[in-house]
Amino acid sequence: MSVSTDPRAVSGAELPLAPHLSGSPTAAPFRARHVEDLLLGLALLLMFVLPLAEIVLRRLAGIGIPGSIPIVQHLMLWVGFLGAAIAAREGTLLALATGAFLPEGRVRRFAAIFSAAVAAAIAALLCRGAVDLVVGERETGTMVAGSIRAWTAQLVLPISFALIAVRLVARSSATWRGRSAAASGLAIGLVLALWPELVRGRPAWPGVAILLAAAGLGAPIFALLGGAAVLLFLSEGVGPSAILIETYQLAVSPTLPSIPLFTLAGFLLAEGGAPERLLRVFRAMFGWMPGGTAVVCGLLSTFFTIFTGGSGVTILALGGLLLPALLRDGYRERFSLGLLTATGSLGLLLPPALPLILYAIVAQIPIENIFIGGILPGMVLIGLTAAWGILESARSHVPRRRFRLREAGAALWEGKWEVMLPVVILVAFLGGYATVVETAALAALYAFVSQVVIHRDISLRRDFRRVFAECGATVGGVLVILGVAVGFTNYLIDADVPGRLLAWTQAYIHSPYIFLLGLNAFLLIVGCLMDIFSATFVVVPLIVPLGQAFGIHPVHLGIIFIANLELGYLTPPVGLNLFLASYRFKRPLMEVTAAALPMLAILGFGVLIITYVPWLTTGLLGIFGKLR
């Protein structure tokens, strides 16, 4: 049986986060949608075919494909921003969860129109910056590879931001009057894009205040970060192209293409029959233990979160499978809701989880080091979750299953392809046989072959365009945030915010233990307000100098950061997993929040252990260093 999820929901819970922006009946015509999805699918397909060809040619003939690396990097640009345009089309751009608290009726309709108007204005300004970037690059004449010019690849930036602006307006209201009101924001953005001198030299704080209000009412996160960067730069006489230059450099960075490729592997597994096969494997191997089904649910959720990066696919794709299993075995409904809500982000510390890759890129540390550093801390959180499941099974008198060797063997044989995937990835990358991008391509190919060719759970004719479009929309919804976040971070660095923060911290905090406690509290707040990807680009450049000043190992600092952001998914009132679980299980938000509180406390204790026992992070690094 194939696990299928709603295409809007699978993009990372944006549907429950900004419901007033996702219910408009307007949509692109079918033919336009088909072409858009097909282009995205072909770009994503080329992204994983080229690195695989590199591996084969390098091993067999000792040569590579000329220009394949820069081509893959620029395909990342197309996948990311074409995916962002599709996310805008489907109403699944990431937004803060605060919009879900608005009452139905006029208030919510006003919020939808106002937030869409502000976001469309920012998209128009970013479109102008992208146009300036393309024009400047065309004059420079930079080549990507062969006869491919860089400016032709960059064309996707202004096109995508233009589509995002128009689609935000189109989805803002079910009436033409409402859309016309939202279009006024687009008009303001166009005026400022054409005549930036209107705001040059003026204070930026009134515009930033409007952005904060719009974000609170449901505007996409990219509008908040990108808008703040645009207004701050414009107030100093710098055009929005400064942001798009940083966006372009990020999008074509050498290791970033691994993110959509690992995400594609996760989507293929979730859409195929992998969840059922893995559930059978874990039940056969661990179901005999006290709390066996709870432990199995934690392990299965962890497996999928590693590949989907906490984007919401785990809860949305596996929730309908795991909740009935827990209830059928006798676990209380409240415990089951809390467990599945918490395990929706469990696994972000284990390789090759996407936040680990992104943190390594931003903090400029070796990816293999943070992969190794996250193994033991990740196991600590899984162990604490399993312990809670064991205690619950004793409280609820859940009967234990007998271990059956024949069933274990049959389950392992049926699920052997899925079980071997993490082994293939770790051997390929940590063994030095492939780069991180090539490893991600190998993972995508492995998932593709296992689900399409071997098990035939996914049909090329029926499912190819949909699965690739959903994956691209998820990646695009994240990348558009990352692209503008790096511009905002660049402004903070130009304004010497990290230096000022370091001076203030050193003036008032002298103990590394107090610093780490304060850091945990700060990151917990960040984690419940921002998605982990945008928080990485905004916050990491601020805390890295602080960690160095207090003698914190750079890998240990990274694991602390990701562990706290993982915990932030559960933190009320706006933790992302709370809204996801409420949407998936059709339970009131307060009921889900109350159910998740014990897991919040347990995982919070685990985060403190990870923070104050640095050996958990650095111990394996020393062992692997000696082996190398």
- Band the pLDDT of 398: cuts 50, 70, 90: confident
Q: Which two tokens stand for residue 594?
A: 């109350």
For 127, 198, 227, the CA distances from 234, given in Å and listed in that order, are 15, 9, 10
3-state secondary structure 474-486: HHHHHHHHHHHHH
pLDDT at 14 (0 to 100): 38
For 19, 80, 89, 212, 338, the CA distances from 476, given in Å and listed in that order, are 19, 4, 12, 22, 30
Q: Cβ(439)–Cβ(429) under 8 Å?
A: yes
Q: CA-to-CA distance for 46 and 598, rounded, in angstroms? A: 45
For 376, 512, 549, the CA distances from 613, given in Å and listed in that order, are 11, 13, 19
The pLDDT tens digits for 215-241 are 889 899 899 999 999 999 988 888 888
Torsion angle of the four alpha carbons 334, 284, 422, 530, in this order, in degrees rounded to the nearest 10:
0
For residues 487-492, give the mean pLDDT.
86
Q: Cβ(577)–Cβ(569) under 8 Å?
A: yes
As beta bridge partners, residue 95 has: 220
Q: Which two tokens stand for residue 93?
A: 């751009």
pLDDT at 384 (0 to 100): 95
Q: CA-to-CA distance for 622 and 612, rounded, in angstroms? A: 18
pLDDT at 256 (0 to 100): 85
Asked if pLDDT for residue 21 goes beyond 70, the answer is no
The pLDDT tens digits for 282-291 are 888 888 888 8
pLDDT at 189 (0 to 100): 92
pTM here is 0.82
As beta bridge partners, residue 145 has: 148
pLDDT at 16 (0 to 100): 36
Least Cα distance to 71 among 139, 158, 149 occurs for 149
pLDDT at 388 (0 to 100): 93
For the chain, what is the mean pLDDT? 85
Cα-only R_g, the chain: 24
Least Cα distance to 254 among 425, 81, 73, 58 occurs for 73
If you search the block for the tokens 């985060």, which residue do you land on? 607
pLDDT at 293 (0 to 100): 87
Asked if pLDDT for residue 3 goes beyond 70, the answer is no
DSSP state, 451? I
- Band the pLDDT of 311: cuts 50, 70, 90: low
Q: Cβ(571)–Cβ(527) under 8 Å?
A: yes
DSSP three-state, residue 574: coil
Asked if pLDDT for residue 9 goes beyond 80, the answer is no
Asked if pLDDT for residue 276 goes beyond 80, the answer is yes
Q: CA-to-CA distance for 552 and 131, rounded, in angstroms? A: 42
For residues 165-185, give the mean pLDDT.
93
pLDDT at 143 (0 to 100): 83
Q: CA-to-CA distance for 628 and 411, rounded, in angstroms? A: 36
- Band the pLDDT of 23: cuts 50, 70, 90: very low
Q: Cβ(442)–Cβ(428) under 8 Å?
A: yes
As beta bridge partners, residue 220 has: 95
CA angle 485, 487, 493 (to 5 degrees): 105
The pLDDT tens digits for 590-608 are 888 899 999 999 999 999 9
For residues 324-344, give the mean pLDDT.
90
pLDDT at 30 (0 to 100): 56
pLDDT at 24 (0 to 100): 44
Q: CA-to-CA distance for 471 and 90, rounded, in angstroms? A: 13
- How many angstroms separate the most distant Cα atoms in the chain? 75
Burial class (CB in 10 A: 0-12, 13-18, 19+), 413: exposed
pLDDT at 550 (0 to 100): 93
Q: CA-to-CA distance for 390 and 415, rounded, in angstroms? A: 25
Q: CA-to-CA distance for 367 and 357, rounded, in angstroms? A: 6
Q: CA-to-CA distance for 323 and 244, rounded, in angstroms? A: 44
DSSP state, 531? -
DSSP three-state, residue 145: strand
Least Cα distance to 283 among 300, 301, 307 occurs for 300
Q: Which two tokens stand for residue 492?
A: 């903070």
The dihedral built from the CA positions of residue 150, 156, 158 and 161, taken in this order, carries a sign that is: negative
The pLDDT tens digits for 418-476 are 999 988 888 888 888 888 888 999 999 999 999 999 998 888 778 877 888 888 888 88
Q: CA-to-CA distance for 443 and 506, rounded, in angstroms? A: 44
Asked if pLDDT for residue 5 goes beyond 70, the answer is no
Please report the DSSP string for 304-371 in residue order. HHHHHTTSSHHHHHHHHHHHHHHHHTT--HHHHHHHHHHHTSTTTTSTT-HHHHHHHHHHT--HHHHH
For residues 111-126, give the mean pLDDT.
94
pLDDT at 6 (0 to 100): 36
pLDDT at 312 (0 to 100): 66
Q: CA-to-CA distance for 421 and 440, rounded, in angstroms? A: 11
